[in-house]
C-alpha cells in the first residue's frame, strides 16, 4: 500500500501539485488521470522521490519514504520498477543489456539464467528478435515496451508506469494494459499508472485519481466513473461527442425512456 499525504510541490513560484492525498492499494491498478500538464508526472515523481515534495509525505507500507535516510530509501527503491514517460532506456546498451541491467546489478545469477529471465519478460511485452538492437533503432512504442520489461524484470513490489500506452496503437495498448493488470494480480504488486487513455481507465482502473490543474478533483473506481456528477471529470471523460451520446443513451436506457432494442450501435450510423 502506498499512501500519499498532503503532497505539495512548486517550481519557483508556480505550484504544480496542491495538497494531494491518496491511498493506493496493493494488488490493484491505481490510475492517475488528467489532461496534459495537470501534474501527473510530477505527482508520480514525488511519490518515488525523484522530486522532493515541499510539504507532505509518502508512505510505503506504512513507513514514511520521504523522511527515510538514503540507505533505507535504497532498500525501498530496489522494490520499485518504473517506466518513464520518455522510456529512459540506456542508449549505449542494447535492448537485451537494458533489460538485463537490473539483474546484473542486483543478482548474482548465472548469465544463462539472466538471459532466460530477460527473454521471458521481453516475450511478455510481445518483443521478439529485438535483443541485439539499440534503443535508437526502435519505434517509440517498442521503447515503451522495453521500458516496461526493464521495470518488471526484478519482480518489483511497486510498479510505476508513466503513460505506458501513449504512442501505442489501440491493440498493443490493450495488450500492455492486460499485461500490467495481470502481473499486478499475479505478484500482488502495488501498481500506479499515469494515463489519459479512457480505454485503460475502463479496462484496469480499480482506483482512479483525477487530477485537475494540480488538484485532486475526483477519486473512485471505473465502475463509478461514468456515473460521476463531477462537471470537470465529465468534461474529461466525455470529451468526444460519441461518448457523450453513448452516455446519454445509457442513462435513458436505465430510466426506461427508450425501448431496449435501440442500442449504442445505432448511434454509430
Closest CA to 203 of 228, 182, 233: 182
Among 1, 21, 25, 37, binds ligand ATP (CB under 6 A): 37
Site for ligand ATP in 52-71 (CB under 6 A): none
In angstroms, the CA 151 to CA 238 distance is 32
Cα-only R_g, the chain? 20
Among 41, 98, 173, 184, binds Mg ion (CB under 5 A): 41
Segment interacting with ligand ATP (CB under 6 A) among 29-37, 53-61, 142-150, 249-257: 29-37
Query: Which is closer to other proteins, CB of 65 or CB of 210?
Result: 65
Q: What track of x and - describes contact with ligand ATP for positions 188 through 207 (by CB under 6 A)?
A: --------x-----------
Is residue 88 within the footprint of other proteins (CB under 8 A)?
Answer: yes
101, 153 Cβ separation under 8 angstroms? no
Which residues are CB-contacts of 229 (< 8 A; sequence separation ≥ 6)?
none
Write down the residue that cell numbers 445509457 correspond to.
250
Residue 209: count other Cβ atoms within 10 Å of its Cβ: 25
Site for other proteins in 249-268 (CB under 8 A): none
Cα–Cα distances in Å, from 157 out to 77, 183, 250?
Answer: 10, 10, 39
Residues lying near other proteins in the complex (CB under 8 A) are found at: 45, 48, 50, 70, 74-78, 80-82, 84, 86, 88-91, 101-102, 104-106
Q: Give the interface with ligand ATP as residue ranges (CB under 6 A).
A: 11, 16, 34, 36-42, 85, 196
Amino acid at each position: 500500500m502506498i499512501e500519499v499525504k498532503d503532497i505539495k510541490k512548486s517550481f519557483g513560484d508556480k505550484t504544480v501539485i496542491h495538497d494531494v492525498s491518496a491511498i493506493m492499494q496493493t494488488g490493484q491498478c491505481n490510475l492517475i488521470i488528467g489532461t496534459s500538464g495537470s501534474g501527473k508526472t510530477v505527482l508520480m515523481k514525488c511519490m518515488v522521490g525523484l522530486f522532493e515534495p515541499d510539504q507532505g509525505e509518502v508512505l510505503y507500507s506504512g513507513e514514511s519514504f520521504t523522511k527515510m535516510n538514503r540507505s533505507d530509501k535504497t532498500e525501498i527503491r530496489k522494490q520499485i520498477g518504473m517506466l518513464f514517460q520518455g522510456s529512459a532506456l540506456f542508449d549505449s546498451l542494447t535492448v537485451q543489456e537494458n533489460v538485463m541491467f537490473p539483474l546484473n546489478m542486483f543478482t548474482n545469477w548465472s548469465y544463462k539464467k539472466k538471459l532466460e529471465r530477460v527473454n521471458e519478460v521481453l516475450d511478455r511485452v510481445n518483443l521478439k528478435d529485438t535483443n541485439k538492437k539499440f534503443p535508437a533503432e526502435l519505434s517509440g512504442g517498442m521503447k515503451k515496451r522495453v521500458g516496461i520489461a526493464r521495470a518488471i524484470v526484478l519482480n518489483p513490489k511497486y510498479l510505476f508506469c508513466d503513460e505506458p500506452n501513449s504512442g501505442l496503437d489501440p491493440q498493443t495498448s490493450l495488450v500492455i494494459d492486460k499485461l500490467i493488470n495481470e502481473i499486478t494480480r499475479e505478484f500482488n504488486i502495488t501498481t500506479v499508472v499515469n494515463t489519459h487513455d479512457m480505454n485503460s481507465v475502463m479496462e484496469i482502473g480499480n482506483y482512479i485519481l483525477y487530477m485537475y490543474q494540480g488538484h485532486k478533483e475526483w477519486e473512485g473506481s471505473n465502475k463509478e466513473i461514468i456515473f460521476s456528477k463531477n462537471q470537470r471529470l465529465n468534461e474529461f471523460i466525455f470529451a468526444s461527442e460519441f461518448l457523450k451520446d453513448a452516455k446519454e443513451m445509457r442513462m435513458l436506457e436505465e430510466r426506461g425512456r427508450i425501448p431496449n432494442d435501440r442500442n449504442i450501435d445505432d448511434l454509430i450510423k
